[in-house]
Structures are given as structure tokens and as C-alpha cells.
Amino acid sequence: MHSLLKLLKALLFLGVFISSAANADPKVIVLAFELNDMTDLPNAPEELKRIALLSSTFKESLKSQGINVLPVDSKVQAEIEKHSPTYLYDNVGTAIELNKDMGADYLVIGVALKPTYLFVYPRLIIVDVRSQTVVVSNSAQLESSWSDERTTIRTAEKLAQVVKQRLDALHVKK
């Protein structure tokens, strides 16, 4: 009888463990916004600063909403710096391959397109690592002065909310 009780406890524990593992929050790698500046005077320091603020606020907003954001591997960051700002955005298979050992369920890849002096279009995709498909493509229009940090912050927070909502919807389906 004592052995049967131990076996039942072990099975109960295993059931709880499997259930909690199945409901674990997805792990996400965020390859933040790279500036794709197509103007005549590309990569102005003020614009680079704004995109850095957009990226850091976006990541922090995801974390504050409970998204399990994994760090970007230094080898991946070095690879990003070797290529054009849109390289991983346009080459999802390469992005997955570079991050395959990190244990992420999803990749969020961002590009900040600046076709004119007036606008920046932060664009992002969410890639399901397992199915190797893009499950979300979204963008925003960032129309403000370089010095208008509040608009940049609000844009980052709105994009983070889009990611959170989509990940929540995807996670419920699994």
C-alpha cells in the first residue's frame, strides 16, 4: 500500500510538472530595431539615438508585460553588425539558424525604415522558430522630431503591446 501511495504521488507530481511545462511562457529573442536610413544623409547621430531609444523601450516594455525575453547572443550581434539593417528581417531562415541554440520559441525582428527626413517606419515581424514561419508582420509611423522622446517611447510601447497580444493568442492555441 505504501508503494502504491508513493507511485500515485509521483504520477501526480509528474502530471503537474508536464502541465506547468506546457503552459510555460514562450521564450522570445528580440532583435531590436536596426536603422535602415535611405536619406541623403544617412545615420545621423540624432536618428541613431532615437532608434536606440525605440529599441530599448520596446524591449523593456515587453519585459514589463511579462514576456520572457532572452538575451541576444554576442555572436548573433556580431553577425547583425556585418550586414545591412534588413538582413535578418529579409532572411528569416538565417535568423532562425543563428539563434537555434538559444532555446527561443519566437524571434522578434525589427527594422526602422527611414525613407525620407519626415518619417520613420518601425517594422517588425514575429517568427515562430518551430514552424519557421512569420506569424506577425506589423509597422508603425513615427512622425516626430528627433528630440521628441515621448512619441518614440509611445510608439515602442504600442508595438510591444501588439507583440504581447499576438504572443498571448499564439500561446493559447498551443
Give residue-wise pLDDT tens across range 124-150.
Answer: 999 999 999 999 999 999 988 878 899
CB neighbour list of residue 49: distance below 8 Å, 6 or more residues apart = 146
Q: What is the mean pLDDT of residues 138-163?
A: 93
For the entire predicted model, the pTM comes to: 0.84
Query: Where does the pLDDT of residue 5 fall: very low under 50, low under 70, confident under 90, or very high at 90 and above?
Result: low
Alpha-carbon distance of 22 to 20, in angstroms, equals: 5
CA dihedral 111, 116, 117, 123 (to 10 degrees): -20
Q: What is the pLDDT of residue 154?
A: 96
CB neighbour list of residue 13: distance below 8 Å, 6 or more residues apart = none
Express each pLDDT in 48-63 by its tens digit: 999 999 999 999 999 9
Q: What is the mean pLDDT of residues 65-74?
A: 95
Express each pLDDT in 81-90 by its tens digit: 999 999 999 9
Write down the residue that cell numbers 511579462 correspond to. Answer: 66
Q: What is the pLDDT of residue 78?
A: 92
Asked whether 109 and 80 are in contact (CB, 8 A), the reply is no
For 162, the grid coordinates are: 501588439
State percent of the chain over pLDDT 90: 75
DSSP code of residue 105: S
Query: Where does the pLDDT of residue 117 fall: very low under 50, low under 70, confident under 90, or very high at 90 and above?
Result: confident
Express each pLDDT in 7-19 by its tens digit: 555 555 555 444 4
